[in-house]
Amino acid sequence: MQAFHSPLQGWCFPEYENFVSTKSDGVITDKSPLFGLDCEVCLTMRGRELTHISLVAEEGGCVMDELVKPDGKILDYLTSCSEIMKKILNPVTTKVKDVQRQLKALLPPTAVLVGYSSDLDLKALKMIHPYVIDTSLLYVREQGRRFKLKFLAKAIWGKDVQGPGRLGHDTTEDAKTALELAQYFFKYDPKKMLSRKSDDFDHFIVIKIAELNLEALACHQSRRQQACAEQGSRGRWAAMPKVAAQF
């Protein structure tokens, strides 16, 4: 079994020694507010440090969108993933400690953070939060393999995120998509649908179709990879449909 660890209060690992708690310690219920979270990082002399954070409320509005100046000397802006460049960060004065203060003030005691590989987001923030939903694990495949965010959005809704022509990821879009995927899963979870009334049958069909789309695309990609390996043709792989290759 593969474990995915988010920082938790009371852990004694040296890497979490200076992490800050959000102080969200209420009792969560079905009515606890959900917040979509996404962070981007760069590579510095200290390792990976935060450069951008977006926080989205469950109604879809962005409640926080901040560029962040790393503490360490930047070695690589990781622009292809983050869209962050030197000229973008040069005028920024916000530091990770400022973001921590803002999050502590924004998040209510029963807030649930929803992200995609949210353990990495919390590590970038250097924060501990007790209630986290990692959307990538809701849709996890056999042997712990996970789909990419853009693949799930395309397969389930036909929605393009992190689209071609962009320099990197849109953190607000990614946070919102991770949140919507979690909401979709909890609303149409096929295990729950089996125990509901017959008038929910149409919803059951919706999620089953989505499941079939995911598995069909996954199998399609696997067969394509095998054929490509046998033929040793990179050019043919590059010409394949993008939706089948991006997970």
Give the largest Cα separation in the chain, rounded.
60
CATH code for the structural domain at 14-25+32-191+203-211: 3.30.420.10
CA dist., res. 229 & res. 223, Å (int): 10
Q: 54: pLDDT confidence band, cut at 50, 70 and 90?
A: very high
> Higher-confidence residue: 181 or 229?
181
Mean pLDDT of 199-203: 42
Ranking 55-69, 100-114, 177-191 by mean pLDDT, the lowest is 177-191
Residue 114 Cα distances to 36, 37, 66, 121, 203, angstroms: 5, 6, 18, 10, 23
For residues 68 and 91, the answer to whether their CB atoms sit within 8 Å is no
Contact 54, 172 (CB under 8 A): yes
pTM exceeding 0.85: no
The per-residue pLDDT for range 76-120, each reduced to its tens digit, is: 999 988 889 999 999 999 999 999 999 999 999 999 999 999 999
